[in-house]
Structure formats: C-alpha cells, structure tokens
Amino acid sequence: MKIREISEKLCADIVCGEDQLDCEVFTACSSDMMSDVLAFVKDQAVLLTGLVNPQVIRTAEMMDMRCIVFVRKKVPTEEMKCLAEEAGIVLMKTQMRMFEACGILYEAGLKGHVEDGVCDA
C-alpha cells in the first residue's frame, strides 16, 4: 500500500514528507510505548501512536520506519517535524482512535509481523 493511500483511508493530514507519499509499505504496528516498539517490532514500516514527543521520531528512525500516524487528534511539535524531515519519515495526523485506524489499515491489507505462523504480541 502506498503511504498516500494510508492518508486517504485514515482521513489523515500530512504534516511532512509529502514527497514520499508514493512509497510502498507492507506492514504496520501501533503502540504508545516506545519501549515495546523497540522490543517487539520487527520490519514494520508504519507506526500508529498517540504519543507526542521527539522520542517517537528517534524510535521510528532506529527501526527504519517510513511513516508515523498520530491518532486521537494528536499534533506533532515543530521539533518532531524537523527531526522527521531530517530522517526522511512521513508524519501524518488523524482524528481517529488507534483501534479504528488499525482496523481500517488491517482490512485494507497492511499486516503486522508474523514469524513461523505466530504473531508477535
């Protein structure tokens, strides 16, 4: 799925990274705890979160994520926008709650990491 499609499906506003909207992504995850993202996430390209602080951008960069979607009407700060632009990460924001946003993306074909038939939890 293209990042542009994620924006459309989630009625999300693009905060930065407009030049990367045609990049393909195949997996996503969601968490408000960056320690869980670091510990359990593997090969995810999109992060959905309601946490708004610079650590979100740094975590996504360390995990080679391409896009962060802020849910629940959360708005990233200017500092976060600058960090994301430097890292080449698309930022977007939606009014949807995390559960709804994840369901829409899952139904549209984005999946989480599956290893040996067992889902990470």
Sheet of strand 28-30: strand arrangement: 13-16, 90-93, 67-70, 46-49, 28-30
pLDDT in tens, the chain (121 residues): 999 999 999 999 999 999 999 999 999 999 999 998 888 777 778 999 999 999 999 999 999 999 999 999 999 999 999 999 999 999 999 999 999 999 999 999 998 865 544 444 4
**pLDDT of res. 76:** 97
pTM of the model: 0.91
Per-residue b or e along 47-77, where b marks 16 or more CB atoms closer than 10 Å to that residue's CB:
bbbbbbeeebbebbeebebbbbbbbbebebe
Domains delineated in the chain:
3-109 (3.40.1390.20)
Closest by alpha carbon to 89, among 44, 32, 37? 44
